[in-house]
């Protein structure tokens, strides 16, 4: 019997199989500013990645996560679960319905700007790629302790842009590598 080396296994492209899609992170009665977030994923050649999966965790409008580890003395909004998961379509796009999150304290208690915690899974990636989505024009972005860790010339890769002709609609493009690579965090 000859032993033949085989290629090592990487993640995907199978996310659409069995993917429990959760595109609505906050129901219609959730408190806060409504947001429709269009996420697009691109490879290093700026081609859409049609088999990625995006997961999002976020706080409610008051800045509290719907999770037992969030011990803040703030009310949980029962209409804001704060979790979403969507596979990208043939254009590398997925859409989430949510609310703009409130500010949450960091490990040192310093308040962070409103943001979404994001994990990207895609073909050829062995581990999730963690990143964040902040909102353009948010005054507290300047003082966010995590955003300040990112070189100024790269911060725009973490900023969702408003869709000018649709109030409450935002666009966030993620580039897995290349010239416009999104900042991913080593957590």
pLDDT (tens digit, 9 = 90+) per residue, 118-153? Answer: 999 998 888 899 999 999 999 999 999 999 999 999
Per-domain boundaries in the chain: 34-175
The region, left, alpha or beta by phi > 0 then psi within -120 to 50, assigned to residue 164 is alpha
**Structure pTM?**
0.89
What per-residue confidence (pLDDT) applies to 9?
52
Residue 56: band (very low, low, confident or very high) from pLDDT cuts 50, 70, 90? very high
pLDDT for residue 3: 65
In 81-168, which ranges are E strands? 83-87, 93-99, 115-121, 129-135, 159-162
Which pair of structure tokens corresponds to residue 10?
A: 């990487």
CATH architecture group of domain 34-175: Sandwich (2.60)
């Amino acid at each position: 019997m000859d032993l033949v080396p085989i290629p090592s296994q990487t993640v995907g492209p199978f996310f659409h199989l069995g993917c429990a899609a959760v595109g609505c992170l906050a129901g219609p009665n959730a408190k806060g500013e409504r947001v429709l977030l269009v996420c697009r994923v691109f490879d290093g050649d700026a081609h859409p990645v049609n088999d990625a999966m995006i997961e999002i965790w976020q706080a409610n409008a008051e800045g509290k996560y719907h999770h037992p580890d969030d011990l803040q003395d703030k009310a949980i909004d029962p209409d804001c679960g704060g979790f979403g998961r969507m596979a990208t379509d043939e254009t590398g796009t997925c859409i989430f319905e949510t609310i703009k999150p409130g500010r949450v304290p960091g490990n040192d208690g310093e308040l962070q700007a409103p943001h979404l915690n994001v994990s990207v899974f895609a073909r050829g990636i062995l581990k999730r790629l963690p990143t964040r989505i902040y909102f353009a024009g948010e005054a507290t972005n300047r003082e966010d302790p995590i955003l300040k860790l990112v070189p100024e010339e790269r911060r725009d890769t973490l900023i969702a842009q408003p869709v000018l002709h649709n109030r409450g609609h935002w666009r966030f493009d993620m580039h897995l590598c290349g010239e416009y690579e999104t900042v991913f965090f080593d957590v």
